[in-house]
Amino acid sequence: MFAYYFDLALRSFRRNKALTALMVLAIALGIGASMTTLTIFHVLSGDPIPQKSDQLFYVQLDPGSMDGYVAGEEPEEQMTRYDAEELLRQARGDRQAMMTGGSVAIESQKEGLAPFYADARYTSADFFPMFELPFLYGNGWSAEQDAARARVAVISKALNDKLFDGEDSTGRTVRFGGADFRVVGVLDAWRPVPKFYDLNAGRYGEAEQAYVPFSTSRDLRMDRNGSMNCWRSGANSDDPEGETGVNAPCTWIQYWVELDTPAEAEAYRQYLVDYSDQQRAAGRFQRPTNVRLRSVMEWLDYKRVVPSDVRMQVWLAFGFLLVCLLNTVGLLLAKFMRRASEIGVRRALGASRRAIFAQCLVEAGTVGLAGGLLGLGLAQLGLWAIRQQPTGFADILHLDASMLLTTFALAILASVLAGLLPAWHACQVAPAIQLKSQ
C-alpha cells in the first residue's frame, strides 16, 4: 500500500505544482537553517577522543599566594613547572604528560626553501600513547630520552612533506632554532576537534607541526607561547630561566593524566589532595587545598568551548523551522480540503478513515523528502558561506554522515508532524455529503 500511496502523492504534486512548490520550499528553508546551525554545534561540541575521553583527566592545583584569594573559587587552570615535573616524576597515573606550546624557527637544507616558523609542542613521552596520535613512520621518544634531554623530535605529516617530500625521515636531522634534532617519528594526519589538550593555543586550530621533549626545550631556552600567570612581583629574578624556571611562582603548563577506572580516578584525586597538603606544610602553597580532576568532556564543559552565540543560533533556527512547519500545516490543510470530493468518493468505495489518514501522511512525508533534498543543498550553501568567514573553526565545518541522515530524518519527521492535523481533517470527510454535492 505504501507504494500505491506514494504514487498517489506524486500524481497530486503534478496536479498542484505551485502549492507543492510552496510546501517544499517552506520545509527546505527551515531544514536548511536548522541543519546549518546544528552542524556547527555538532562539530564544535563533539567528543575529540571518544574512545577514551572518560579515562583522560586534566589536573589542577592551587599554588597561588593569599593575595586576592577568594574562598570557593576555582584553582589555577595551569600548573607551575615545579609541580608538573614533580607529579611527572612520581608518576601515580597509568600515563601522564606535561606540556606547553611554542614556536620554532625551522632551517631546511632543502634547496629553495627559506627558513620559516612552525607551531611546536614541548611535552613528555606519554603524550603520544595517551592521546593516541597516529604515526606514519617511527614513533615517539622514551621517558629515558626525556630525562637525558635528548635532541629528538616528532614532526607532522605536513612538515615532513614540506621538508622531505613525504619520505620516511626517521633518523634524519631537522634544525629547530639553530639546534639539530633527530627525527624519531612522523605523524599521520591528526587534528582533534576541539583541540582539547591545550585550549590556550586556539580551540579549533591545527595541531602542532613539531614535538620536542619538554626538558630539551627548557635546556635550549626555546620560545614558548600561551598564557602565564605569576603572583609575585620580580619572580623572574629568582631563577636564571626567569618566569619559566623551576622555582618561578608562575603557572603556564598543562598537565594530563590517564586513569583507566573510576577507582583509580578517585585514588588520584586523593593523591592530589595529599600532595597539596604536603606542599603547604613545606611552605610552597599558601591557599587551602583546592584540587580539580576533570575528564575531557568535563573540562570542555567547564571551559565553555562551544560559543554561547552558537547555542542561541541553534534555538533561533529551530524556531524558524517551527514557523515553516506552521505554514506547511496551513498549505497541507488547504490542499487536502480542496480534494474533499475525491476523498469522499474513495470513502464511498470502501476506503477506511485509517487508509485516508495514511495516504495523507505519506503525501506529507513525500513533501518532507523533497524538502530535505532541497534543504540539504541550502545547508551546504550556508556552511560554505560560513567557511569563507575569518573564524578559527570555519574550515572544519562539513556535513558528515550522521548529519546527512539527520537532515532527511528531520525533514520527513517535520513534514509528517505538519501533516497530522490536515490528515485528521481529511479523514473526517463525510462521503454522503460529498457525493450529494457532485
Question: Comparing 10-19, 153-162, 344-353, 390-399, which segment has the lowest mean pLDDT?
Answer: 344-353
Looking at the DSSP bridge assignments, the partners of residue 250 are 230
User: Taking a C-beta distance cutoff of 8 angstroms, is the pair 212, 269 a contact?
Assistant: no
- Cα–Cα distance, 270 to 276 (Å, whole number): 10
More confident residue, 6 or 58: 58
Q: How high is the pLDDT of residue 125?
A: 97
Answer whether residue 281 is part of any domain: yes
Q: What is the predicted pLDDT for the residue at 434?
A: 45
Q: Is residue 255 included in any domain, yes or no?
A: yes
| Nearest Cα to Cα of residue 150 among 103, 100, 217 | 217
Pairing, β 116-123 against β 152-155: unpaired
Residue 215 has pLDDT above 70, yes or no: yes
Task: Indicate the residue among 302, 334, 349 that finishes a domain.
Answer: 302
Reported as a single tens digit per residue, the pLDDT across 253-312 is 999 999 999 999 999 999 999 999 999 999 999 999 999 999 999 999 999 887 777 778
Each residue's pLDDT tens digit, 286-295: 999 999 999 9
Tell whether omega for the bond before 194 is within 30 degrees of 0, i.e. cis: yes
Q: Is-contact 33 327, C-beta < 8 A?
A: no
Query: Are both 281 and 311 inside the same structural domain?
Result: no
SS3 272: helix
Contact by Cβ (8 Å): 426, 336:
yes
CA gap 360, 23 in Å, rounded: 14
Mean pLDDT for the chain overall: 85
The answer to the question of residue 51 being in a domain is: no
Residue 364 host element (H or E): helix 353-387
Same domain, 163 and 216: yes
- State the residue range of the domain holding 406: 2-45+307-436
Judge if 297 and 312 occupy the same domain: no
Contact 120, 210 (CB under 8 A): yes
User: Do 431 and 391 share a structural domain?
Assistant: yes
Report the number of secondary-structure helices (H) and strands (E) in the chain: 14, 13
In a domain, 363, yes or no: yes
Residue 416: inside a domain: yes
Closest Cα to residue 411, out of 365, 379, 380? Answer: 365
Of 122 and 11, the structure prediction assigns the larger pLDDT to 122
Question: Regarding beta strands 179-187 and 152-155, do their DSSP bridges make them parallel or antiparallel, or are they unpaired?
Answer: parallel
More confident residue, 1 or 414: 414
386 and 401 fall within a common domain:
yes
Which of 117, 80, 388 has its CA nearest to residue 254? 80
Both 157 and 119 in a single domain? Answer: yes
User: What is the mean predicted confidence (pLDDT) over 128-145?
Assistant: 96
Is the pLDDT score of 343 beyond 70? no
How far apart, in whole angstroms, are the C-alpha atoms of residue 101 and residue 120?
Answer: 6
Q: Which of the listed residues 302, 321, 350 is the one where a domain comes to its end?
A: 302
- Final residue before a domain boundary, out of 252, 270, 302: 302
Residues 276 and 372 in one domain: no
- pLDDT higher at 96 or 411: 96
In a domain, 132, yes or no: yes
User: Residue 430 pLDDT > 60, yes or no?
Assistant: no
Question: Is 360 a domain residue?
Answer: yes
Q: Which residue has the higher pLDDT, 251 or 406?
A: 251
How much is the pLDDT for 427? 67
Q: Are residues 111 and 20 in the same domain?
A: no
Q: Do 211 and 317 share a domain, yes or no?
A: no
Query: Which residue's entry shows cell 584569594?
Result: 69
Task: Verify that 294 and 316 share a domain, yes or no.
Answer: no
When divided into structural domains, the chain yields a total of 2
Q: Is 270 domain-assigned?
A: yes
CB count within 10 Å of CB 294 equals 16
111, 209: one domain: yes
Q: Cβ–Cβ contacts within 10 Å for residue 245, how many?
A: 18
Question: Do 251 and 328 have their domain in common?
Answer: no
Q: What is the pLDDT of residues 98-107, one digit of tens each?
A: 999 999 999 8
